[in-house]
Amino acid sequence: MSTPATSDRVALVTGGNRGIGRAIAERLVADGYRVAVTARSGSGPAGALTVIADVNDAASLDQAVAEVESALGPITIVVANAGITKDTLLMRMSDDDFSNVVDTNLGGAFRTVKRAIKSMIKARRGRIILISSVSGLFGVAGQANYSASKSGLVGFARAITRELGGRGITANVVAPGFIESDMTAELDDKTQAEYRKQIPAGRYGTAEEIAGVVSWLAGDEASYISGAVIPVDGGLGMGH
């Protein structure tokens, strides 16, 4: 089978209106892909199509995927990036705090990927990229819900790899460490300084550093990598 040009490939990024998702969409646009982002509000970067969807709302994802495929063509790259935190110690964590985070971060990835793989199976080509976190395998106190959701993505990617690996589809996990973003800006200065001390690189990462790895995983050079967890964390989670 001949390799389609980058400009013939369609990428969908969830949560592409801000933060890491927006940087990923910008990078994929710069790489020459046809790019769509989902947003609950606002819009993605210039050059990307924005469709409204909430990853907790299956009907909105049905609609979003249909819109993207009719405007841009069959999706062959999906980046499940949308995610939330609701940090608190386990003793104080409500059932809702747990289920909302797991349903958004893990359930949202499932609902998105499930809808995107139909075209990939037909094309016998696809890239599934799940944005996890160092918190998933390293574990972070106060993040029982978030760590559980993010490690769940690893099992999800590996099950997909076994199911669909023979059809030219790869599924990988990117595990960012602490990245400069709205999510980490919520931490107070003392906590931020404490976290920084633990990072061998001595600094937070940037959204562009995550986007660069996603770009590489989406491309032809990563065609034989599947079921992998790629840390982008300045060494914070090494060994995990």
Ligand X SMILES: NC(=O)c1ccc[n+]([C@@H]2O[C@H](COP(=O)([O-])OP(=O)(O)OC[C@H]3O[C@@H](n4cnc5c(N)ncnc54)[C@H](OP(=O)(O)O)[C@@H]3O)[C@@H](O)[C@H]2O)c1
Residues of the shown chain interacting with ligand X in the complex, contacts defined by CB under 6 A? 14-15, 17-21, 38, 40-41, 54-56, 81-84, 104, 108, 131, 133, 176, 178-179, 181-184
Element (DSSP H or E) covering residue 186: none
CA 82 from centroid of its chain's CA atoms: 6
For the bound state, the minimum distance from the C-beta of residue 150 to ligand X, rounded and expressed in Å, comes to 7
In terms of CB distance, is 29 or 55 closer to ligand X?
55
Compute the Cα dihedral for 64, 65, 68, 70 and give only its sign: negative
Pairing of strands 10-13, 126-131: unpaired
Contact (Cβ atoms closer than 8 angstroms) between residue 118 and residue 85: no
Nearest approach, Cβ of residue 15 and ligand X (Å) = 3
Among residues 24 and 123, whose Cβ is nearest to ligand X? Answer: 24
Q: 201 phi and psi, to 5 degrees? A: -70, -15
**Angle at which helices 108-123 and 144-164 pack, to 10 degrees?**
20
Q: Which residues are catalytic?
A: 146
Helices 95-102 and 144-164 sit at what angle, rounded to 10 degrees?
Answer: 30
Q: Which residue number, 72 or 82, has a Cβ lying nearer to ligand X? A: 82
User: What tokens appear for 156 in the block?
Assistant: 């999800």
The smaller minimum CB distance to ligand X, of residues 195 and 216, is found at: 195
Tell the smallest beta-carbon distance from residue 126 to ligand X (Å): 20
Of 178, 153, 168, the closest CA to residue 229 belongs to 153
Residue 149 or 170: the one with the smaller Cβ distance to ligand X is 149
Which amino acid is present at 165? G
